[in-house]
Amino acid sequence: MFNFIKKYIASLVLLISVLLGSIDIDVFGKSVSYYFNLQLILIYIFKISNPHLNFGKGIFLFLISIANDSLNGLFFGTSAILYFIVFAVASFQSSIKLRSIFIAEWISFGVALIIAYVIFFGLINLSGENVLIINIGLNFLITLICYPLIWFIVSFLFMQNANR
């Protein structure tokens, strides 16, 4: 059981974060998920911290994204596109370096977020819904700012080789 949890810790944490997204925790009158996207940070950090991690060859990542779409009332595939963009950038970043440089990882996370949010904005407009650029911008900024904090927590709790 412990080995199973250890083996699939990244997928399990990601799944729990999606499930807990439906528990309402308010900050300044808005839900926490309004301010930042925890899932994107987790995907990036888990992949960067462990280059061999592939979320069950991507299958778990895809299934978790479907659960997220379902719970948020989005068209299927919307979250999957975002998750795989961030995962792709993290894979690329983890494969080109010999040792971890935090600032470089943070910057490349910012690049991954910009690509992901631009595509997200396009997909939402295609869905026929209104989304304010300022909301996406705020979410992008706070997600980027929260990265070091989440990186510290995740590397401290789950990743033994995070400080490679």
Rounded CA separation 163/159 (Å): 9
Q: Judged by CB under 8 A, how many residues of this single chain contact other proteins? A: 53
Q: Judged by CB under 8 A, which stretch of 4-12, 17-25, 99-107, 154-162 contacts other proteins?
A: 17-25
Using CB under 8 A as the binding rule, whether residue 96 contacts other proteins is answered as yes
Using CB under 8 A as the binding rule, whether residue 126 contacts other proteins is answered as yes
Using CB under 8 A as the binding rule, whether residue 73 contacts other proteins is answered as yes
Q: What is the DSSP string of 42-85?
A: HHHHHHHH-TT--TTTTHHHHHHHHHHHHHHTPPTTHHHHHHHH
Q: What share of the chain is helix, strand, coil (3-state, %, to 5)?
A: 70, 0, 25
Q: How far apart are the first and last CA of the chain?
A: 27
Using CB under 8 A as the binding rule, whether residue 4 contacts other proteins is answered as no
Q: Which two tokens mark 116?
A: 């992901």
Using CB under 8 A as the binding rule, whether residue 101 contacts other proteins is answered as no
Q: Which two tokens mark 1?
A: 């059981």
Compute, in degrees rounded to 10, the torsion defined by CA atoms 92, 46, 40, 83: 60
State which of residues 87, 147, 151, 158 lies at the interface with other proteins (CB under 8 A): 87
Using CB under 8 A as the binding rule, whether residue 92 contacts other proteins is answered as yes
State which of residues 17, 50, 108, 139 lies at the interface with other proteins (CB under 8 A): 139
Contact positions vs other proteins (CB under 8 A): 19-24, 26, 29-31, 33-34, 51-52, 54, 57-58, 61-62, 65-67, 70-78, 80-81, 84-85, 87-88, 91-92, 95-96, 123-124, 126-127, 129-132, 134-136, 139
